[in-house]
Amino acid sequence: MNMNRLASIIFLCMAAMVVSAQNAKSPNGRLSAAMADNMLVVSYKKQPVLRLADIPFQKLKFVRKVKDDYRMLEGKRLLCSNEAREYEAPIGPDARMVMRLYNDGIAFRYEYSNLQSSKAPEEHTSFIIPEGTRRWMQQWSDSYEGFFPLSTTANVKTLTGFGGSAVSDAINTHWGYPLLVEPADGVFALITEANIERRQSASSLYSKGEAFSVVPDKNDLLLTGDWHTPWRIVIIGELADIVQSTLVTDVSEPSRLEDVSWIKPGVVSWIYWANNHGSNDFNIIKKYVDMAVTLHLPYILIDAEWDEMKDGKTIEDAVAYALSNGIKPLIWYNSSIGWIHGAPGPKFRLNKPEDREKEFAWCERIGVAGVKIDFFSGDNQMNMDYCMDLLESAARHHLLVNFHGAPIPRGWQRTYPNLLSTEGVYGAEWYNNVPHFTKKAAGHNATLPFTRNIVGPMDYTPCAFSDSQHPHITSKAHELALTVLFESGLQHLADRPESFLAQPQEVQAFLGQLPTVWDETRFVSGYPGESAVLARRSGNVWYVAGINGKDEPQVLATDLSFIKKGNVQIFADDASGNWQIGNASKLPSQMDCQPRGGFVLVISPVS
């Protein structure tokens, strides 16, 4: 194997010190770290995939075994295990680097003590991604709404215009997490960060040639006492390791909530996709409530502009109508720190602590179950603290939270379990905005299970059988598959009531029984941008979803030998775009997919 195809990901930190370390390894020994050529080399199954050089310590010392089993309320699996071997090394007076080797990756952070009204210490961490290495990178934006196109170079031109609809001559140098690379054939590394806490900003990546430097966003605080960076993490292994990893939540702080019984994930009837201004119209809201009743969905989201409701109606009328029909309402707010002028409302109701408490207490009193908060402004420390303020206040009033127009998840889904979803994705909402999403959607959809959705719940707003302002050319079965393929504690269904209620009864029943909580997730087959097949278990029922990201037919492998025999319900499509719905007694070993097509298998135990 040519060394250019191997991971040569180097962390360039404070120079002038020599590294010495021995016998660092993951609990199962699959990942190991040892000195070679003045660099700390991390190997996967004895193959070098990660190189750390110029590290500012002289000796890496084993500290302890980390073993922490914990339970999630939503995500890839409910029962998780945080198991690692932890090492540390001094990096100067009152400072150290802490590094953990996991079975599926590496995590490290810098810890400081005895700070005296100091700015956050400068970080010099960089990743070196050699030219020729396959990578899927997202151009940074404050809302993390971008594509992850395959590239083999850092010399990628900057996207400009609304939704990245134009290309400039300038080379882009600013990248958002997560960043996926394939340093060797069949071996992958996904770079991100986790466990943002008070007094910290989030970070992103800036590239210069082959070097991708970690640059924390603005943090103007003067720090006193102890302080540390968030965890910088790299998930390493085969695609199954990447997809199934819980490393982001493994290193994140556990929740302090004593009572979480009120936190109920579920499927949501959502107005905005088909009716951009529908949430100011009581009659339109009623249609979506009625659809939720028919499809047995637990929630409805009343989106922006509900503070300007027409015909003498109010949001309290809408909430009362939903509750009288057994549907729990969620309502929308403008965060009022990002897009404000010309943006919809309600605005400026959450910024001051006293206003926020008053507003959330009112929500709780009238029966609102949760809030969608939109239009944040990036990764800086003030935004991070504001998000945590919102989550803590919402929890005091038993409100679920969905962040939109917001940075990607970095572990808060464990620390604040009322955070059930975050947008931070170029999702189906863009059919409302730009024509170029139509042709790119299938390949983009087949990339997200290996990139954005790895790091946390993703409010893509899937499943549209009809068209919004711009058409979709993904098949009906492809759209249905997204509801399983994309993990989100609140799964907002995009389409209009007339479209959902025109689908076959089997499809309507599927949506009414769709879980958003998964006991287990398995990677089945696929490759970023080409196809994706995942299996998710809810109780004793398996849901297997697959999509074709290409404009030509594909046969997708479905090795389901880990599932016992069961009754198989099949949702697929034919060449003319019609549903193919049926049952089988055997698990298929492969599925034929139409261009931009898909399928869902529901496998239930034999009675």
> Percentage helix, strand, coil, to 5, in the chain?
20, 35, 45
**Within this chain, do residues 83 and 226 fall inside the same structural domain, yes or no?**
yes
**Within this chain, do residues 17 and 96 fall inside the same structural domain, yes or no?**
yes
Instruction: Name the helix (H) or strand (E) containing 422.
Output: strand 419-422
Q: What is the CATH number of the domain that holds 145?
A: 2.70.98.10
Asked if 487 is an active-site residue, the reply is no
The HSE-up count of residue 328 (CA atoms within 13 Å, CB side) is 20
Candidate list 374, 459, 487, 495, residue with the active-site label: 374
- pLDDT at residue 232 tops 70: yes
Q: What is the CATH number of the domain that holds 378?
A: 3.20.20.70
Residue 558: CB atoms within 10 Å: 18
Give residue 244's region: left, alpha or beta (phi > 0; psi -120 to 50): alpha
Candidate list 145, 423, 429, 487, residue with the active-site label: 429
Answer whether residue 550 is part of any domain.
yes
**Within this chain, do residues 201 and 339 fall inside the same structural domain, yes or no?**
no
Please name the residue that has the structure tokens 């001559």. Answer: 169
**Within this chain, do residues 312 and 202 fall inside the same structural domain, yes or no?**
no
**Within this chain, do residues 177 and 189 fall inside the same structural domain, yes or no?**
yes
Number of domains in the chain: 3
**Within this chain, do residues 231 and 308 fall inside the same structural domain, yes or no?**
no
**Within this chain, do residues 430 and 402 fall inside the same structural domain, yes or no?**
no
Report the C-alpha gap between 391 and 43 in whole angstroms: 39
Strand ranges for 26-78 from DSSP E: 31-36, 39-44, 47-53, 61-71
Q: pLDDT tens-digit profile of 509-528? A: 999 999 999 999 999 999 99
Answer whether residue 529 is part of any domain.
yes
Distance of CA 98 to the CA centre of its chain: 26
Asked if 122 is an active-site residue, the reply is no
Identify the domain boundary among 216, 250, 284: 250
Answer whether residue 166 is part of any domain.
yes
Answer whether residue 557 is part of any domain.
yes
265: domain range? 259-424
Q: pLDDT tens-digit profile of 471-490? A: 999 999 999 999 999 999 99
Burial class (CB in 10 A: 0-12, 13-18, 19+), 284: buried
**Within this chain, do residues 400 and 480 fall inside the same structural domain, yes or no?**
no
Report the C-alpha gap between 441 and 436 in whole angstroms: 9
Answer whether residue 159 is part of any domain.
yes
Answer whether residue 226 is part of any domain.
yes
168-183 in b/e form (b: 16+ CB < 10 A) is eeeebbebbbbbbbbb
**Within this chain, do residues 513 and 570 fall inside the same structural domain, yes or no?**
yes
Write down the pLDDT at residue 22: 52
Q: pLDDT tens-digit profile of 325-336? A: 999 999 999 999
**Within this chain, do residues 24 and 117 fall inside the same structural domain, yes or no?**
yes
Report the C-alpha gap between 381 and 223 in whole angstroms: 12
Write down the pLDDT at residue 550: 98
**Within this chain, do residues 122 and 242 fall inside the same structural domain, yes or no?**
yes
Answer whether residue 459 is part of any domain.
no
Write down the pLDDT at residue 57: 62
pTM over 0.85: yes
Answer whether residue 460 is part of any domain.
no
Contact between 528 and 150 (Cβ < 8 Å): yes
Distance of CA 394 to the CA centre of its chain: 21
Q: pLDDT tens-digit profile of 202-224? A: 999 999 998 898 999 999 999 99
Q: Name the token pair of 269.
A: 């009837």
**Within this chain, do residues 439 and 407 fall inside the same structural domain, yes or no?**
no
Report the C-alpha gap between 564 and 238 in whole angstroms: 24
Report the C-alpha gap between 127 and 210 in whole angstroms: 8
